[in-house]
Amino acid sequence: MISAIRNGAAYYQFENLARTEGVDHKIFTRNAGCSQTPFATLNISFGIGDDQKAVAGNRELISGIMGTGEMIYLHQVHGREIAVLGRDGKADNIPITADAVVTDRPREFLVVQVADCQPVLMVDPVRKVVANVHSGWRGSIQNIIGRTVGAMQLHCGCRPEDILVGIGPSLGPCCAEFIHWQSEIPEKFWGYKDGDDHFDFWTISFDQLVAAGIPERNIESSRMCTRCRTRDFFSYRAEKKTGRFAAVIGLT
pLDDT, tens digit, 9 for 90 and up, residues 6-53: 999 999 999 999 999 999 999 999 999 999 999 999 999 999 999 999
pLDDT of residue 176: 98
Domains held by the chain: number? 1
Q: What is the pLDDT of residue 94?
A: 44
Residue 45, domain extent:
2-251
pLDDT tens-digit map of 162-220: 999 999 999 999 999 999 999 999 999 999 999 999 999 999 999 999 999 999 999 99
- Spatial CB neighbours of 85, under 8 Å, sequence gap ≥ 6: 72, 91, 92, 101, 102, 103, 105, 108
CATH number at residue 19: 3.60.140.10
pLDDT band at residue 68 using 50, 70 and 90 as cut-offs:
confident
Query: Is residue 89's pLDDT more than 90?
Result: no
CB-facing half-sphere around the CA of 52: CA atoms within 13 A: 1
Of 30-44, 93-107, 119-133, which range is least confident?
A: 93-107
d(Cα 145, Cα 139) in Å, to the nearest integer? 8
Lowest mean pLDDT among 57-61, 66-70, 119-123, 144-148: 66-70
What is the C-alpha to C-alpha distance for residues 225 and 138, in angstroms, rounded to an integer? 18
pLDDT value of residue 43: 98
Question: Does the pLDDT value for residue 93 go beyond 70?
Answer: no
Rounded Cα gap, residues 148 and 82, in angstroms: 7
Q: How far apart are CA 43 and CA 50, in angstroms?
A: 8
Q: Are 98 and 74 in contact (CB under 8 A)?
A: yes
Query: Could you give the percent of the chain with pLDDT greater than 70?
Result: 96
Q: Which helix (H) or strand (E) holds 110?
A: strand 108-114
- 3-state DSSP call for residue 137? helix
Residue 95 binned pLDDT confidence (cut-offs 50, 70, 90): very low
21 to 56, 114, 157, 224: CA distances (angstroms): 30, 26, 19, 25
Nearest residue to 84 (alpha-carbon basis) of 161, 157, 166: 157
